[in-house]
Amino acid sequence: MPWESVLESYLEVIETLTDEIQNLEETIEERAGSLEETQLLMTIPGVSYYTALTIYAELGEIGRFDGDKEVVSYVGLNPVIRESGDSRIEGELSKRGSGRARWLLVQAAHTAVHTCNDEYLSRFYERLASRKNSQKAIVATARKMLVSMYHMLDRGEVYDPPGVSA
């Protein structure tokens, strides 16, 4: 049958690509493990080696930011504010920064809250989700996670949220 040889060649390609992907994942994991900054970020529940490396690469040298608000704005997790006279309206996210970093932070927040059950972030998320919708709550949780990342990298400290006993 001619289909058998085609199928066999496809399976060989899949096997080769699977091996290549595994080798790349091991390289990425080794790189993340060799950097002090990514090791710090990986102490946050929900942050894997890939997320830590990407966030670190997107932010670059942390000392170039004057504070956490600047980092939040850089990534695009800050609300657009429109002011006119006495009125002030906080709108949707500015989304000015890296879409990849925002997406990864939201995914990491989901993992921290729903899978790892991080006490600090879960309490924050649940409190907001009870007042707002769950999507706004998870984005706010991702923002809180980013602020924690900034302070961790700035101070060289591992993840140690306030009010949670280790």
Amino acid identity, position 128: L
Residue 132: inside a domain: yes
pLDDT value at 105 more than 80: yes
Residue 107: inside a domain: yes
**Rounded to two decimals, what is the model's pTM?**
0.80
pLDDT value at 131 more than 60: yes
pLDDT value at 166 more than 50: no
Q: What is the pLDDT of residues 22-48, one digit of tens each?
A: 999 999 888 888 889 999 999 999 999
> How many Å apart are CA 142 and CA 110, to the nearest integer?
8
> How many Å apart are CA 138 and CA 104, to the nearest integer?
12
What number is the average pLDDT over the span 56-82?
Answer: 88
Residue 39: inside a domain: yes
Residue 150's pLDDT is 95
Residue 10: inside a domain: no
Q: What percent of the chain has pLDDT over 90?
A: 63
For CA atoms 46, 120, 37, 58, give the dihedral sign: positive
Query: 136: which 2 tokens?
Result: 């706004």
Residue 144: inside a domain: yes
Residue 43: inside a domain: yes
Query: 143: which 2 tokens?
Result: 């923002």
- Total of domains in the chain: 1
Domain that holds residue 93: 35-155
Residue 42: inside a domain: yes
> For residue 145, what are the CA distances in angstroms to 42, 52, 77, 82, 113?
12, 12, 11, 26, 11
No. of helices (H) and no. of strands (E), the chain: 7, 2
| 140: confidence class by pLDDT, cuts 50, 70, 90 | very high
